[in-house]
Structure 1
Amino acid sequence: MPKPLPTPSLPTGSGSRAQVDVNGWPAILGAVLLGTIGVLLFIIQPGIVQAYVTHLGLTEAVAVNLAGIEMLGVALATIFMAIRGVGFDWRHVVAAGLITAAAGDFGSLGGGHGVSFYGARFIAGLGEGTIISISFTFVGVTVRAERNVALYLSLLLTYGAFGLWYLPLFLSAFGLGAMFAGFGGLSLLALLTLPLLPRAYSAEAMANPEARQLPRSLLVVALGGVLAYNIAQGIAWAVLFLVGTGAGLAEQSVADALFLSQILAVGGALASVFLAGRIHRNAAIAFGILAGAGSIALLVGRPGMALFVVGVCGFNALWNFVLPFILGRVCDFDESGQMMSYAIAMQMIGLGSGPLIAAQLLDGTGYRAAELVCIALFIVSYGLLLLPIRRHAALRSRAPRLG
């Protein structure tokens, strides 16, 4: 798992009157709820893409591109927060993010009206990315970070499972407008969690016994591996529902398969927590990435229901299993403790650009090109990560870190 950041130190002065116990259950649950609000749409993105096709009459390429526009907003907000976010009052930032996300959702109520709809989804993405960044950081600075990350992932994946399962029925009964209005209302309701947030934290270098300083060139290679992995994830996640319906499966059957995959993803996330320290991190990374590529390979062509279920379940469970190991190992490549923020930025860029790339690969004849590019990026990501992994292993075997 990623190494926890130091416990937040609250600013002194008038802002310190409302002291927050960041390790208390109210604060932790507030951060977990905020994190779930931040991914309300992304975690059910395959179903949303299908809804853009069936309810707005968009082509598949346009629908995937629209999802990518929103994720671009998420990526840009996360990058900004990684570079400058530490200097701001967290409560003010989260409030702005929640209001921005709500504005984008309420601005989407017309649905499918060209540039205005694209703009509304981009604005929603900016708000969502801000919320995701703060909530992820907050959970990471708690003392029992592994437990709290597991709680975080379990809640959002459980929501994702039931959201994907029920989405076709909900949209048939109420339409996209009701969904966007509900998301906007939940974002505004989440303003109630603001008093549970600390104002800020000051990050200091951590004592990480596994950290070894790699050359800057290898740090760039490692971040390239994180980026390639998440581009592959972004491509796959955007087209999974389309792959199922394109193979002749009923929408609700595809939703059922994705529901099961989200349930198993909870297991994958929890497995990464319980197995951390018990299995070799490098072996977990190799298995998770390459087996993930194999899961997507099962979906090439026109998979039957059984093969589709195996493929999407393997993909989703392995995604949530291996990502903490990847982030944890990347943090071991730099002794300053700054790699996590850069890696999270690469993750958001990858997830944001994945749908935009996938949209260019859909020509109306199938999904083979998108699937093959996804598989290739998985393999490239492992190859890129393998170079710094080997150098890190060599440095560790040469001499133990002192201090």
Structure 2
Amino acid sequence: MMRARNSALAGADPGMTDVNGWKAVTSAIVLGTIGVLSFIIQPGIVQGFVTELGMSESAAVDLAGMEMLGVALATIALAIFGGRVDWRHVVAAGLLAAVIGNVGSAMADGSAFAFARFVAGLGEGAIISISFTFVGVTRRTERNVALYLLMLLTYGAFTLWQLPAILDAIGFPGLFSAFAIVSALAAITIGQVPRAFVADAMDNPEARQLSRGLLGVALAGVLAYNLAQGIAWAVLFLVGTGAGLGEQQVADSLFLSQIVAIAGALASVFLASRLNRNAAIAFGILVGAASIALLLGKPSLMLFTLGVCGFNFLWNFVLPFILGRICDFDTSGRMMALAIAMQMTGLGGGPLIAARLIDGTGYGAVLALCIALFIASFALLQLPIRHHRALLRVQPHQPLGQGSGAPD
């Protein structure tokens, strides 16, 4: 994992709590979870749009994509302008947008409903971007990332498992109202958010500067990987019910996959210094593609469970390795923000692409595109990885830069 010696700035606010204190760390973790309240249970929400609201499957996936489009746009904007704005103001605006979007979603329908989900997505994207960076500036980054992932994946597992019952009891108006209330309550964390940060010298023996062209190829690989993830995550529930499985059976399988995902995230944290990062990336991407291949056709409950568990475990296992290696390609410290922007663009664009491939005859085309994008991401990442490996051989001394690495 990345280890930065970053100093949080309070912007002439001497009373600001130390970012490494338990209140600040807790606030970062809470904000990170607020940012993914909807996304982490997206398969169940898409299924609910179909069963509860009577939408077509393509329309339901498209609606999820509208929310993720908002997330992507907010993340891209902060990647470009995040160094010029007060983080507290961004979080306050993000929480306000999330509240407005979720209240609107509870009350509206039709095009107004879609716009409300887009507004909620803008707020979520702002919160996700700041909270991710907030965790990154803490001293015990690995531990705090693990706690962050544990919190959001635990929420996702239990909520996704019980979502059919929740929707039966309170419907989408109740669910989105709950999201709005929780987002409003999260305003108590704003005082713990640093206003900005200054990146000091980084102790990273693996950072080497690649050319702009190779950096572009690396970011394209991140985009392709997350497009595949966004496509798959949006349609998993539909794939299960389309194979003849009951809604609760699918929910149970996805619940198990979220529990397994926690293990994948923790494995990436605790094994980061022991594994060959490039081999871990190859394994995670290619076996992730094989997991999706298990869902082709009409998988049995066993195959469906195996496929979604493999997919979710490897997603949470390999993503930190990919982001860590991306940061090793640049010594200026800018690649993380750009990589997160590509991640959110992929997760947002995935459902929009998937919606246009759903024709009522099955999900073969959607899953095939997902697998192809996994393979494309692997191929794209190999070029900068190989050039980086060559630079490690000819440039033995560490330059000043961002990121970290496990030994190759």
Q: Determine if contact 2:58/2:356 at 8 Å carries over to the other structure.
A: yes
Say which of 325, 331, 334 aligns to 1:329: 325
What is the CA distance between 1:207 and its match in structure 2? Answer: 3.8
TM-score under structure 1 normalisation?
0.97
Separation in structure 2 between the aligned mates of residue 309 and residue 231 of structure 1, nearest angstrom: 22
- Spell out the pairing of 1:1-80 with structure 2 (5 A cutoff): 1-4=1-4, 6-12=6-12, 16-80=13-77
Larger CA deviation: 91-100 vs 318-327: 91-100
Give per-residue Cα distances to partners, 1:197-239, cap 9 Å, x unaligned. 2222123453421011111110000000000000000000000
Quick one: percent identity of the two aligned structures?
66
Larger CA deviation: 287-296 vs 76-85: 76-85
- Unpaired runs of 5+ residues, structure 1, are none
Given the superposition, is the C-alpha separation of residues 110 and 225 from structure 1 closer, same or farther in structure 2, using an over 3 Å criterion?
A: same
- Unpaired runs of 5+ residues, structure 2, are 400-408
In the alignment, structure 1 residue 250 sits paired with structure 2 residue 246: yes
Match of 2:395 in 1: 399
What is the CA distance between 1:65 and its match in structure 2? Answer: 0.3
Separation in structure 2 between the aligned mates of residue 360 and residue 126 of structure 1, nearest angstrom: 23
Separation in structure 2 between the aligned mates of residue 391 and residue 279 of structure 1, nearest angstrom: 20
Say which of 135, 138, 141 aligns to 1:139: 135
Separation in structure 2 between the aligned mates of residue 259 and residue 7 of structure 1, nearest angstrom: 38
Say which of 362, 377, 381 aligns to 2:377: 381
In the alignment, structure 1 residue 356 sits paired with structure 2 residue 352: yes
What is the CA distance between 1:9 and its match in structure 2? Answer: 2.7
In the alignment, structure 1 residue 221 sits paired with structure 2 residue 217: yes
Q: Determine if contact 1:3/1:328 at 8 Å carries over to the other structure.
A: no
Match of 1:107 in 2: 104
State the one-letter code of the partner of 2:296.
V
In the alignment, structure 1 residue 98 sits paired with structure 2 residue 85: no
What is the CA distance between 1:183 and its match in structure 2? Answer: 0.2
Separation in structure 2 between the aligned mates of residue 327 and residue 128 of structure 1, nearest angstrom: 21
Separation in structure 2 between the aligned mates of residue 370 and residue 18 of structure 1, nearest angstrom: 52
State the one-letter code of the partner of 1:332.
D
TM-score under structure 2 normalisation?
0.96
Separation in structure 2 between the aligned mates of residue 30 and residue 383 of structure 1, nearest angstrom: 38
In the alignment, structure 1 residue 148 sits paired with structure 2 residue 144: yes
Q: Report SS of the residue matched to 1:8.
A: strand
Give per-residue Cα distances to partners, 1:354-393, cap 9 Å, x unaligned. 0000001100110000000000000000000000000100
Match of 2:334 in 1: 338
Q: Report SS of the residue matched to 1:57.
A: coil
Separation in structure 2 between the aligned mates of residue 194 and residue 46 of structure 1, nearest angstrom: 30
Give per-residue Cα distances to partners, 1:148-188, cap 9 Å, x unaligned. 01110110000000010010001011111100000000000
Given the superposition, is the C-alpha separation of residues 26 and 267 from structure 1 closer, same or farther in structure 2, using an over 3 Å criterion?
A: same
Q: Report SS of the residue matched to 1:17.
A: coil
What is the CA distance between 1:192 and its match in structure 2? Answer: 1.1
What is the CA distance between 1:17 and its match in structure 2? Answer: 3.2
Query: Deviating runs (4+, > 4 A) in structure 1?
Result: none
Q: Determine if contact 1:211/1:334 at 8 Å carries over to the other structure.
A: yes
Separation in structure 1 between the aligned mates of residue 352 and residue 80 of structure 2, nearest angstrom: 24
Give per-residue Cα distances to partners, 1:53-81, cap 9 Å, x unaligned. 00110000000000000000000001111
State the one-letter code of the partner of 1:175.
G
Q: Could you say what the CA RMSD is over the residues aligned between the two structures, in angstroms? A: 1.1
Q: Report SS of the residue matched to 1:7.
A: strand
